[in-house]
Amino acid sequence: MNLPAEELSYEQALELFDARLRALEEGNLTLEQAIEAVAEGRRYLKICEAKLDAARRKIEVRPEPPPPALPESEPGELPGIEDRLL
């Protein structure tokens, strides 16, 4: 699968990551192949993490902050206005 990273779905990136992991676990790779498999696995893992973060941001619900409280006043008074009559 030679799709550019931005075109891979989460599922495709996860499948490719898993394939690299299996190849490493089997132990039949040369040192250079193992190094390349690790590098590719990291790339696919980063794609998966980015896709999950994007999905999380889309569905995350953040509570709205409460409106600022008005100062308390006596009945008949306007809040925040001082009596300036002498």
Supply the DSSP symbol for 62: -
- Per-residue confidence (pLDDT) for residue 85, from 0 to 100: 53
| Per-residue model confidence as pLDDT tens for the chain (86 residues) | 566 767 899 999 999 999 999 999 999 999 999 999 999 999 999 999 999 999 999 987 777 788 887 666 566 665 555 555 55
- Domain ranges within the chain, ordered by starting residue: 5-59
* DSSP reduced 3-state for 43: helix
- How many whole angstroms separate alpha carbon 82 and alpha carbon 64? 32
- Per-residue confidence (pLDDT) for residue 78, from 0 to 100: 57
Q: How many helices (H) and strands (E) would you count in the chain?
A: 2, 0
- How many whole angstroms separate alpha carbon 58 and alpha carbon 50? 12
- Judged on CB neighbours under 10 Å (0-12, 13-18, 19+), 40 is middle
